[in-house]
Amino acid sequence: MGNVMPLADLELESISGLPVAHLFGEIDRSNAAELGDRVASAIGDQSGGLVVDLSELAFLDSTGIRMLFGLAAQLNQRHQKLRVVVPDGSHLGEILDTVGLQQAAATDHTVGEAVAALTRTG
């Protein structure tokens, strides 16, 4: 039967005092709201922002994209920033460029780049 990937999974960690949310699997209308809430709960008042790592994400539909815009808006209200990690040259990166995510959140190719950018800008 092969490997069955769970629809979506979330791993949270702190790097240099910043919350980093690693998302795995597939994000769609069945789980985007719950995942968005779980990611949002990781945002601390003292951090300069949030890194959302989509490097291992297999699928993201329009509700998942709206979740990213919602996280960016929530962080903006708190004077914090969202940085989204997508692999260089990935199809997902092209989609996020097409929908204009860069207007709400910067994208990086690695978690290290995203953390470095947030620690520079605070």
CATH number at residue 63: 3.30.750.24
Q: What pLDDT, in 10s, does the model give residues 80-121?
A: 999 999 999 999 999 999 999 999 999 999 999 999 999 986
Pairing of strands 18-27, 8-15: antiparallel
Task: Tell whether 2 is covered by a domain.
Answer: no
Separation of alpha carbons 19 and 60, rounded Å: 21
pTM of the model: 0.91
- Inside any domain, residue 76: yes
Q: How many domains in the chain? A: 1
- E strand or H helix that includes residue 67: helix 62-77
Q: What is the mean pLDDT of residues 33-51?
A: 88
Whole-number pLDDT of residue 108: 98
Domain-located, residue 83:
yes
Q: Is the pLDDT at 16 greater than 90, yes or no?
A: yes
Question: Is 12 domain-assigned?
Answer: yes
In a domain, 3, yes or no: no
Enclosing domain of residue 98: 8-121
Instruction: Pick 90 or 47 by higher pLDDT.
Output: 90
* Cα–Cα dist 60/28, whole Å: 6
